[in-house]
């Protein structure tokens, strides 16, 4: 497939692109004829006297919706063989792999949405839908600019250094290593000595190790999809050993010993389970047929997960249900063991039930943890079906938790799993638990035990 030669941008505001297309590397690539960027105002395809491109939505509602007529007419006017991309928050996430793929299309069209959205019938006239991420823009023009820049810089001859596209963040599946330039010392911080040594092989290994370290700390899900060599695995081992030594040094840990909650015997240095909160969600939950339901809290949910949490040194165990009677059930069971003779007779059970908290929503849990810690927690969610979302392995998360200083919410769903609106809020989505058989119907209580042992067990 020949490299990208022509990009059509369909927009109601072509003037927004004037300065963007004129400056820097992109402007030079256009001037050199390496790529042609064509702006198409699809309002010109309107057939009414007012040249309308939008109208009020059927059924009522705020804002305006793009009309299908001008949009589709503009799409149909494009040269044959043009791949048509609709920019929408509902599209697939744009990443480096998508950039490489689209840069291999000879002709590409980016359709920029506006206002409250577009008529649903426009979708059938494009080849794919793409999103920059989970945030809201006024329209698709800024997204189009970001995509154009990502694509053009991949084209042959656009960048002076041919190695640059291969060495930058995400190109190899990892974040980029730290970069330094003059002066050698800036405000008390010096350039790492290895970069001044002139030893090219050692510099290469240092850069690769730092790229792995940074990816593990900031974007561990990328490691799950990266093609790692034997050298990479060796370097990751060095990263893990260094993190463990730092946690063992006086003043070099993550503050786990000062956090409330017990520490398990022989706990692996740096994992700090005392900062971990287990969260069991009963609403919103997926039903068997895909709807949203609220599941019932059971006595086993309360006891068994509290015992597992206490065993692995978890800070607190939160049950989420909006039903007042279910909340009272949880409080009643806990108080039975904490305030009566039962707790005195079986103190180990009382210790476990002392971890139990109840909340009406997942938002209430995150707010209470944030207020207590003074920082946003890291949200780790579990699911039996990721639904196309990127997941992280237990080994990668275990390594990340060695140095993670924020509180961690380890979230489990009941019923047929956490609702998509919750999964979309995850910072990390764990790999599903899988066995060698084709039977996959573990109770959530067993799943919690498996996860805690994989993350915080000593073997």
Nearest CA among 67, 80, 149 for reference residue 116: 67
| 378, 384, 390, 393: CA torsion to nearest 10 | 70
Nearest CA among 78, 95, 108, 86 for reference residue 5: 108
Give pLDDT tens digits for 125-158.
999 999 998 888 999 999 999 999 999 999 998 9
Tokens of 279: 């969260």
For 21, residues 6+ apart whose C-beta sits below 8 A from its C-beta are: 27, 30, 37
Q: Alpha-carbon distance 408 to 272, whole Å?
A: 10
Identify whether residues 426 and 344 lie together within a single domain. yes
Q: State yes or no: pLDDT of 9 exceeds 60.
A: yes
Identify whether residues 87 and 140 lie together within a single domain. yes
Mean pLDDT of the chain: 86
Tokens of 68: 């299908």
Instruction: Flag whether 165 is in a domain.
Output: no
Identify whether residues 136 and 213 lie together within a single domain. no
Region label for 374, one of left (φ > 0), alpha (ψ between -120 and 50) or beta (otherwise):
left
Instruction: Flag whether 449 is in a domain.
Output: yes
Three-state secondary-structure class, residue 92: strand
Q: State yes or no: pLDDT of 414 exceeds 90.
A: yes
Identify whether residues 238 and 324 lie together within a single domain. no
Three-state secondary-structure class, residue 418: strand
Nearest CA among 346, 348, 400, 352 for reference residue 378: 400
Q: State yes or no: pLDDT of 94 exceeds 90.
A: yes
Q: How far is CA 235 from CA 154, 191, 216, 451, in A?
A: 29, 21, 12, 26
Please report the pLDDT score of residue 26 as a whole number.
Answer: 94
Q: Alpha-carbon distance 356 to 379, whole Å?
A: 19
Instruction: Flag whether 256 is in a domain.
Output: no
Please report the pLDDT score of residue 132 as a whole number.
Answer: 92
Instruction: Flag whether 187 is in a domain.
Output: no
Identify whether residues 293 and 240 lie together within a single domain. no
**Residues forming beta bridges with residue 36, ordered by sequence position:** 6
Three-state secondary-structure class, residue 193: helix
In which element (H, E) is residue 234 found?
A: helix 230-248
Instruction: Flag whether 264 is in a domain.
Output: no
Tokens of 133: 């991420």
First to last CA, the chain: 50
Q: State yes or no: pLDDT of 87 exceeds 90.
A: yes
Identify whether residues 115 and 175 lie together within a single domain. no
Q: How many domains does the chain have?
A: 3
Please report the pLDDT score of residue 305 as a whole number.
Answer: 96
CATH at residue 97 = 3.40.1280.10
CATH at residue 211 = 1.10.1270.20
Identify whether residues 175 and 301 lie together within a single domain. no
Please report the pLDDT score of residue 426 as a whole number.
Answer: 93
Please report the pLDDT score of residue 224 as a whole number.
Answer: 62
Residue 47 neighbours by CB distance under 10 Å: 9
Instruction: Flag whether 185 is in a domain.
Output: no
H helix intervals, 8-66? 18-22, 24-31
DSSP 255-300: SGGGSSS---TTPPTT--GGGEEEEEE-SSEE-TTS-EE-PPP-HH
Identify whether residues 336 and 445 lie together within a single domain. yes
Give pLDDT tens digits for 238-264.
775 554 444 444 444 333 332 333 344
Instruction: Flag whether 438 is in a domain.
Output: yes
Three-state secondary-structure class, residue 170: coil
Please report the pLDDT score of residue 242 as a whole number.
Answer: 57
Task: Find which of 229-243, 299-313, 324-338, 373-387 is predicted with most confidence, using mean pLDDT.
Answer: 299-313
Q: Alpha-carbon distance 42 to 44, whole Å?
A: 5
pTM, rounded to two decimals: 0.55
H helix intervals, 60-189? 68-76, 96-102, 141-152, 164-167
Instruction: Flag whether 258 is in a domain.
Output: no
Q: Which residues of 352-364 are buried (b: 16+ CB within 10 A; e: fewer)?
A: bbbbbbbbeebee
Phi, psi dihedral angles at 186 (to 5 degrees): -135, 115
The tokens 């692995």 sit on which residue? 312
Residue 393 neighbours by CB distance under 10 Å: 15
Tokens of 190: 């010096």
Q: How far is CA 15 from CA 10, 38, 146, 195, in A?
A: 12, 12, 16, 45
Mean pLDDT of 263-278: 60
pLDDT band at residue 272 using 50, 70 and 90 as cut-offs: low
Q: Alpha-carbon distance 301 to 412, whole Å?
A: 11
Chain Cα centroid distance, residue 285:
20
With beta carbons less than 8 A apart as the criterion, state whether 57 and 51 touch. Answer: no
DSSP 347-389: HHHHHHHTTEEEESSHHHHHHHHHHHHTSPPEEEE--S--TT-
Please report the pLDDT score of residue 65 as a whole number.
Answer: 94
Identify whether residues 307 and 404 lie together within a single domain. yes
| 373, 377, 381, 387: CA torsion to nearest 10 | 160
Please report the pLDDT score of residue 3 as a whole number.
Answer: 81
With beta carbons less than 8 A apart as the criterion, state whether 87 and 113 touch. Answer: yes
Please report the pLDDT score of residue 373 as a whole number.
Answer: 87
Identify whether residues 307 and 412 lie together within a single domain. yes
Q: Alpha-carbon distance 88 to 387, whole Å?
A: 19
Q: State yes or no: pLDDT of 161 exceeds 50.
A: yes
Give pLDDT tens digits for 425-443.
999 999 999 888 878 788 9
Least confident of 45-54, 115-124, 127-136, 228-237: 228-237
Residues in the chain: 459
Nearest CA among 24, 26, 21 for reference residue 9: 21
Identify whether residues 303 and 448 lie together within a single domain. yes
Identify whether residues 212 and 310 lie together within a single domain. no
Expressed as residue numbers, the domain containing 58 is: 6-152
The tokens 């899988």 sit on which residue? 434
């Amino acid at each position: 497939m020949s490299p990208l030669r022509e990009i059509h941008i369909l927009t109601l505001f072509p003037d927004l692109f004037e300065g963007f297309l004129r400056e820097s590397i992109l402007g030079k690539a256009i001037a050199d004829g390496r790529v042609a960027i064509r702006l198409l105002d699809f309002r010109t395809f309107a057939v009414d006297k007012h040249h309308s491109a939008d109208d009020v939505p059927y059924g009522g509602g705020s804002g305006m919706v793009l009309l299908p007529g001008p949009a589709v007419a503009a799409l149909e006017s494009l040269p044959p063989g043009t791949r048509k991309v609709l920019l929408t928050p509902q599209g697939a996430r744009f990443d480096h792999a998508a950039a490489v793929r689209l840069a291999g299309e000879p002709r590409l069209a980016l359709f920029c949405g506006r206002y409250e959205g577009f008529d649903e019938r426009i979708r059938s006239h494009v080849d794919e839908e793409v999103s920059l991420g989970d945030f809201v823009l006024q329209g698709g023009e800024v997204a189009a600019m970001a995509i154009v820049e990502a694509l053009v810089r991949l084209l042959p001859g656009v960048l002076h250094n041919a190695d640059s596209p291969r060495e930058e963040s995400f190109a190899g599946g990892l974040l980029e290593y730290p970069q330094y330039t003059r002066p050698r010392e800036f405000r008390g911080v010096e350039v790492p000595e290895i970069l001044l040594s002139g030893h090219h092989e050692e510099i290469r290994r240092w850069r690769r190790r730092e790229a792995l370290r940074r990816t593990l700390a900031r974007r561990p899900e990328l490691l799950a999809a990266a093609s790692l060599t034997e050298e990479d695995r060796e370097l990751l081992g060095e990263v893990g050993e260094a993190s463990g030594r730092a946690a063992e040094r006086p003043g070099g840990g993550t503050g786990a010993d000062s956090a409330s909650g017990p520490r398990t015997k022989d706990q692996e240095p740096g994992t700090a389970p005392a900062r971990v909160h287990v969260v069991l969600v009963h609403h919103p939950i997926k039903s068997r047929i895909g709807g949203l339901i609220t599941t019932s809290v059971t006595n086993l949910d309360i006891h068994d997960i509290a015992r597992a949490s206490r065993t692995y040194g978890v800070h607190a165990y939160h049950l989420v249900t909006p039903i007042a009677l279910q909340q009272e059930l949880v409080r009643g069971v806990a108080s039975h063991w904490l305030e009566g003779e039962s707790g005195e007779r079986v103190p180990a059970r009382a210790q476990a039930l002392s971890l139990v908290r109840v909340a009406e929503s997942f938002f209430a849990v995150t707010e209470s943890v944030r207020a207590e810690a003074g920082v946003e927690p890291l949200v780790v969610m579990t699911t039996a079906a990721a639904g196309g979302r990127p997941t992280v392995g237990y080994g990668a998360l275990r390594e990340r938790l060695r140095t993670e200083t924020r509180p961690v919410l380890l979230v489990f769903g009941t019923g047929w799993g956490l609702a998509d609106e919750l999964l979309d809020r995850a910072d990390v989505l764990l790999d599903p638990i899988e066995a060698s058989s084709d039977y996959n119907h573990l109770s959530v209580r067993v799943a919690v035990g498996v996860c805690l042992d994989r993350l915080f067990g000593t073997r």
